[in-house]
Structures are given as structure tokens and as C-alpha cells.
Amino acid sequence: MEGDDLVSKSLPLFLLPQKLILSSLNSALYKYTMESFEGIYFDLSKLSGKARLAESGLGWKPSGGGDTFTLDREQIAQAQWSRAAKGYELKIFSRSSGVSQFDGFQQDDYDRVSKAMKVWYGVNLDQKEHALRGWNWGKAEFGRSELSFNVQNRPAFEIPYTEIANTNLAGRNEVAVDFLPSAEIDDTNEENGTTTGKKGKKTKRRLGGGKDQLVEARFYIPGTVAKKEKKEEDDVKKEDGEEADAEEEEDEADGEEANAANTWYEMLIDKAEIGDVAGDTFASFLDILHLTPRGRFDLDMYEKSFRLRGKTYDYKIQYDAIKKFFLLPKPDDVHTLITIGLDPPLRQGQTRYPFVVMQFKREDDIELDLNMSAEELQEKYQDKLQEHYTGPMYIVLTHLFRGLAGKKVISPSKDFVSRHGQSGIKCSIKANEGHLYCMDKSFMFVPKPATYVAFDNVSLVTMSRVGGAVSASRTFDITVALKQGGEHQFSNINREEQQPLYDFLKAKSIKVRNEMAEESKLLEAALKDQALSDSDDEVVPGGAPRGSADEDSEEADEDFQEGSESDPEEEYNSDVQGDSDAGGSDAEMADAGGDDGGDDDDGDEEVSEVAKPPPKKKAKTAK
């Protein structure tokens, strides 16, 4: 017994030196204390750098200078070696920060990397061969840090969970996966592939090597799967075979079949932690009507972000993504719109929404107590937030956004009031009806497509009416030309809003061109010319034309003055029509026309004018 106690007591003392001796032997056998590799690209960095593997961990430094990436040896959980775009890739699975990829190794570097991983980190370097058949049908497997799409048990591609921004059901058997956009980077770190978080922690968001970036992938998942809840009794073997069979049949009958796409969608949300937000919810608003994107969403507000939860889509939006915040009263005196400008915008499939438009009834009141301690409220949000709110919902929500996001609330300009005393005027962009609001520094059209136009970018505003008579038109259009090129057209504006809008644009020193006024002037001038022309063609009751035609009639009277004695006979004697005097008078008229030496056309007009009165006089005597 004493010998056994002696062995048991001395055993730990013997093992510890042995482990140290083995570690020293391994280090002695492995003669290098550091392995360095040039021309290595970290994740999707634009520039290469130097990768170093040491006993304390690994690191990467860009060749052009900038932030470095380091990973402690205790964080290295797994390592893989495979072919990649620039040569061979070393993929590191860390215990906390996801997946790190180092591309650009040579094939001969495998032995050095493998020995370093084994000796220093106690990790085997697994070789992976990718599927190169190009098939789009395979099996999606959920790993610890990434989603792998395998074809014939070989990975075709992998998607790290940290790169997934959102996912939604695009159809009955289709799941859409949205990827994070390119991260905003500093000038000092623009060429590198790393980003630094707000608290100095390295984030795993990659930067695309070019302007084009993959933003969405869709998976088609047909069929159904059995959805059963496992029980502890299922692991116990039944002594009676008949009873076991009967229970299995009952389990199959009770088991519900679920859509495979829905099950896969829920697993992805759980693995990628989509919608999970650190911290408690400060406030929640249920069933808010959204005009853009269309639908009803629940809104949860957190310390650094807010979340929109709908039946199909779920968004987590950082407060830093809010660029504009508008509070717009609708001209119906019933609703108020809250419009939030986002960069990057929300995405639903191929559709991008740079603005979120919410609609509230002004009469809807709410009582709200913030889920925040008094100490936290006093320390972080002094004079910005209140512990208790009572009032219209849109006012409470606006106050919370202003306090948490720190954004200025933009309201319509007081310098513009419509004909009916409202801040917005009804108009349309193409076939989409909405309202145009005049701010102090911009135009804002809502709800769809939500359009923001800053006055600094406006070169000219043209008021016009396309098609139809200008004087009879009840509406007009405005075209806003931009300095960088392009234009925005707002159509079907009530004619009564023309003067208030014109006065507002002039007060803002914006160049305005009123084509309607120019067309009105041209129309008035044309009407004046037409009136003068009509007065020239008008005939007096006595048969003599007005204006310059009187002179022609007087000349005609002089021509007939020599045969004035026969005039009564021509007028009252019907037998005179067959006399030769009529032919003489025609000859005299022809001579008079030839003696004048004037224009032939003028002479013909005189003849026709003088020849018309006699039939009228005969008609008069017939009465």
C-alpha cells in the first residue's frame, strides 16, 4: 500500500517533466521558431502580405502597411488545406471569430505549414478537395462555422455564417440567403482585407476585391421531412415487441410532416444567429404599417440597432446605417409618415429599398416605459430619452430614434404652404401616385418610389404641361434637372399649386423655367393675330369690305362712274342681262385692271368682290 501511495503521489510529478521534455524534444526536432510566407492574401484582401506562424499563434501583415490580423494559438480549433484562386489556401477555424482564409501558398509549403500546425498548435492539417464538376445539385451541410454545399461528398463552395446578413423564404421550396455588403473602411485600411470594430475588435466581414459583389444565393429544397420530438423513452428498448410496434405506429401517426425548405430555413437562422441582437429590447412597437417595403412589421429597438420582424422578412438594421430621418404629415389630416433613409439599403430579392416608409394614424396614442435602468438612462442618454412616454405613437417613435440614433429629424419647410394649407402636394412619378414635400434643402417624394433630391444637386426646375391645351389643362408637371446629369419628373400637379411652388423655388434661389407662361404669351400673341385676320375678312352689311378693301371698292366705283346712267336699268330692268352693255362693262373692268398694272391676284379679288353685290340686290327686290 505504501508503495502504491508512493507511485500515485509521484506519478503527476513524473508526467509533468515528461511532457515538458517531449515538448522540448519536438521543438528541438523542429528547428524553426517561426515560419514566414510572402505573397499571401487574407480573406479577399486587394493586396498581398506576409503570413507568419509562430508558437504563440499566427498573424498576417499587409505589404502596403495597415492593420494586422493576429490569432492566438488557443483560438485555433481546426485547419484545412485546399486549392484556391491564387494557389493553395490555408483555412483556419477559430473558436470564437469564425473562419479565416489565407490564399496564395505554394504546393511545397504544405509540409512546413503541416509541421507548424502539429507541433505548435496540436492541430492536424486536413487536405480537402473541392468538387469541380460544376453541378448545382448537392447536399447542404451545416458545420460549426460555415455552410458547406457538397457535391459527391466534396465541397463545391462554403459560406461562413458571419457573411450571412439575412435569409427568407422566397417560395414554397426556395430559400434566399442575403450576404453582407462591403464594409466601410478607413483610408489607412482601404487596401487591406480587415476591418476593425467600434471597440477595436477585428470583425470577420470581408471586403470584395472589386466593385461587383455577390449579394444573394438561392437554394431549392423540395419535399417534406418528418418533424418528431425525441423523447427519453425512445432510447429504452421495449420488452414486448407487439407493444413497441404499436407505439411506433402511433408515433408515425402523430409525427407531423414539415416542408423541407421551412426546416432548412429555421436551421440556417439558428446557425447563423440571424436576428439575434446583443442586449435587451428597450422598446417594441407591434404591427406597424409599412408602405415601403409593403407589409406590416414589428419594430424592436436596441442599444445599437433596431429590428423589423415580418411574416416573411426579418431585418436587423444598425443605427449607423440611418442617413436621413423625415417626419412628414400627410395632406389627408389623418396620417403621418416616418421616412428613414438607409445606406446600405434594404434588399428583398433583387429589389433595393433605400428608404423605409412607415404610416401612423395621428389619433393612435401609446403609453410606453423604457426597458432601461435609471442609472443607464442617466449615464448614456441624459436629456435624450425619457423613462416614460405618453402620446401619439409616431411622436414617441420619433423621439426614441432621435435619442438612440442621434439623427436630426427633418420636417417640411415652413416657407411652403400649398393652396389648401398643407405641407405636401399630390403628384405622381410615372404611374405611381404619392406626395411631394418641400424641405428647406431638398425635395422628398413618398411613398413609392421614395425619391430624395437635394437642392445642391439641382440645376434647373422646369414647369410644363406635356400634351393637351395649356389654357384648358388643370394640372402641370415639373422636371428637376440635376447637375451631374439626369432628371426627375413629377407629374399631374394641381394647377392651383403652381404659384406657391414657383414662389418657394424663387425664395430658395433655384433657377426656374416656366414654359406654361411662355406658351401662354405665345398663345395670346397668336390669338391677337387671329383676331386681326378675322377683322380683315369681315364683310359689312352693305356689301363693301372693311379696312383696305374700301379703297378697292372706291376704285371700282370710279370705273362704273362713266356708265352710271345705265345703272338704274341694270338694277331694275331684267331684260338688260342680254344687252351688249354688260359685255362693255366687263371690258372696261378688264381695261381698268390692265391700266393699273397691278398684281393679277389683286385684280381677280376686286372682280369677285364687285361681282357679288348685284345678286344680293336682286334677292332684295324679290322680297
DSSP string, 17-86: HHHHHHHHHHHHHS--SEEEEEEEEETT-SS-EEEEEETTEEEEEETT----EEEEGGGEEEEEEEEETT
**Amino acid in position 426:** K
Q: Which residue has the cell 426556395?
A: 174
* Cβ neighbours of residue 28 closer than 8 Å, sequence gap 6 or more: none
Cis (ω within 30 of 0) for the bond into 344?
A: yes
What are the beta bridge partners of residue 103?
Answer: 41, 89
pLDDT digits 0-9 by tens, 553-587: 444 444 444 444 444 444 444 444 444 444 443 43
Residue 3's φ and ψ, nearest 5 degrees, are: -65, -40
Q: What are the φ/ψ torsions at residue 24 (nearest 5 degrees)?
A: -70, -35
Name the stretches of the chain with pLDDT < 70. 1-32, 182-211, 227-255, 275-279, 466-472, 516-623
Q: How far apart, in Å, do the first and last CA atoms of the chain sit?
A: 162
In this predicted structure, what is the pLDDT of residue 102? 93
Which of 361, 499, 490, 518 is CA-nearest to residue 428? 490
Run of H or E residues at 395: helix 393-405
Taking CA atoms, 209 is separated from 45, 86, 179, 391, 555, in Å, by 6, 13, 15, 50, 94
Give the pairing type, strands 216-220 and 202-203. Answer: unpaired
Q: Is the peptide bond before 293 cis (omega within 30 degrees of 0)?
A: yes
Residue written as cell 431549392? 220
Are 354 and 345 in contact, with CB atoms under 8 Å apart? yes
DSSP 188: G
Instruction: Quote the pLDDT of residue 527.
Output: 63
Can you give the pLDDT at residue 595? 43
> CA 535, CA 526: separation in Å to the nearest integer?
14
The 10 Å Cβ neighbour count of residue 360 is: 23
Which residue from 604, 580, 574, 575 is spatially nearest to 592, judged by alpha carbons?
604
